[in-house]
Amino acid sequence: MPVPMLELAPQNAAVKARVLEGLSGLIDRSSFILGDNVKGLEAEISAYAGAAHAVGMSSGTDAQLAALMALGIGAGDEVIVPSFTFFATAGVVSRVGAKPVFIDLDPATFNASGALVEAAITPRTKAIMPVHLFGQLADMPGIMAVAAKHGLPVIEDACQSLGAKGWGKSAGQFGDMTAYSFYPTKNLGAFGDAGMTAIRDDAALAARVRRIRVHGMEPVYMHHEVGMNGRMDEFQALVLRAKLPMLDSWHEGRRTHAAWYLERLQDLTPDEAVLPQEVVPEGRHIYNQFTIRVPGGRRDGLQAHLRERGIGCAIYYPICLHEQPCFAPLGYQTGQLPESERAAKEVLSLPVYPEMTPAMREEVAVAILGFFGRS
């Protein structure tokens, strides 16, 4: 039985009737951008994530870009970011003319720690952007303590982690601002691109993000600063509002599959495969990805073995950002961030979407165990 890495159709079928009905009303009203659905979604996400303000954006990338712009970060500034993440986290820093300063990761979580952030601070540091990679929170108490000590703002990259929890809080309740992505493969996915910037408690900062979203304009045709077009579509907002009530049950579906994999694959030794660890106290890993490590140069062999058997799997991410050609002028060398470089060689993400059946995950587990000569 083939097992795709991800299948969106069954989940989207669950909201199809509601979305079609909403779309019909939208066409009748013909108000397509920044309308009642965007306003409603902003209120619902701000309540769900526990942040005081939320601003609907055109993508997660634009949500991060607007956050940096609202903090006034630009040429000559440095922003601390992980090297092992999706490109956008660092791309937006360069986009505002600032310099991404790459840090290594904690191998237990793939995420940044307070100590790693602290070691990268210089007099030019203007912000810290931790990423909650794969659905688990970074060491936010440690990072926030370092930020407070140095008086630096924190932008959480929760593009993969809306609803992730730890230390009694949710992604979005730690940093000054937080970016979420609703790219279709996220746990809460739109029918196209969409994102959100949440602002923890600062109403003036929220107002600035709102203004930046519409070319720095307020009121109409009065431009106080050069912003961007970061507007969210009404259609995406209505899709996301139809899905949001189901999000917690989808998180639980992923967590059930993850717990099952952890038990079924528990006999694998650390030199065969290392399973993801949920280490955050009072945590809820939402498993946007279930990512194992395969050390000893066998990762690509396992990937080929799974693919031959029709099992989807993927490498997030095969190249660290400090080794990307576009960042060569920053002067990083291979070997400088060893844990990130090791992760890029070892990681393999397995199917973990909520609609997967028990028979499908058994197929994945049997194929992995077979590769290592086990049953």
Ligand X SMILES: Cc1ncc(COP(=O)(O)O)c(C=O)c1O
HSE-CB for 230 with a 13 A CA cutoff = 31
Between the CA of residue 245 and those of 9, 15, 38, 148, what are the distances in Å? 18, 11, 16, 35
We find the least distance from the C-beta atom of residue 296 to ligand X, in angstroms, to be: 27
Of residues 140 and 367, the one with the C-beta less far from ligand X: 140
* Residue 163 beta carbon to ligand X: minimum distance, rounded to whole angstroms: 15
Provide φ and ψ at 199, rounded to 5°.
-120, 125
Of the two residues 131 and 364, which places its CB atom closer to ligand X in the complex? 131
Helix axes 247-264, 358-371, angle to 10 degrees: 30
Q: How far is the CB of 373 from ligand X (least distance, A)?
A: 35
Rounded CA-CA distance 204/182 in Å is 25
**Encoded amino acid at 82, one letter:** P
Measured from the CB atom, the residue of 129 and 242 that comes closer to ligand X is 129
Quick one: 60 or 227, whose CB is closer to ligand X?
Answer: 60
Instruction: CB nearer to ligand X: give 185 or 303.
Output: 185
d(C-alpha 36, C-alpha 42), whole Å: 10
> Judged by CB, which is closer to ligand X: 183, or 371?
183
> For residues 131 and 273, which CB has a smaller minimum distance to ligand X in the complex?
131
Min dist CB 2 to ligand X, Å, is 25
Per DSSP, the three-state class of 258 is: helix
Whether 165 and 284 have beta carbons less than 8 Å apart is answered as yes
Q: What single-letter DSSP state applies at residue 310? A: T
Residue positions counted in the chain? 375
**Rounded CA separation 299/277 (Å):** 18
d(CA 362, CA 262): 12
Tokens of 288: 């946007």
Smallest gap from residue 289 Cβ to ligand X (A): 9
Which residue ranges make up the site for ligand X (CB under 6 A)? 59-61, 85-86, 88-89, 131, 157, 159-160, 181, 183, 193, 195
What is the Cα–Cα distance from 138 to 147, expressed in whole angstroms?
14
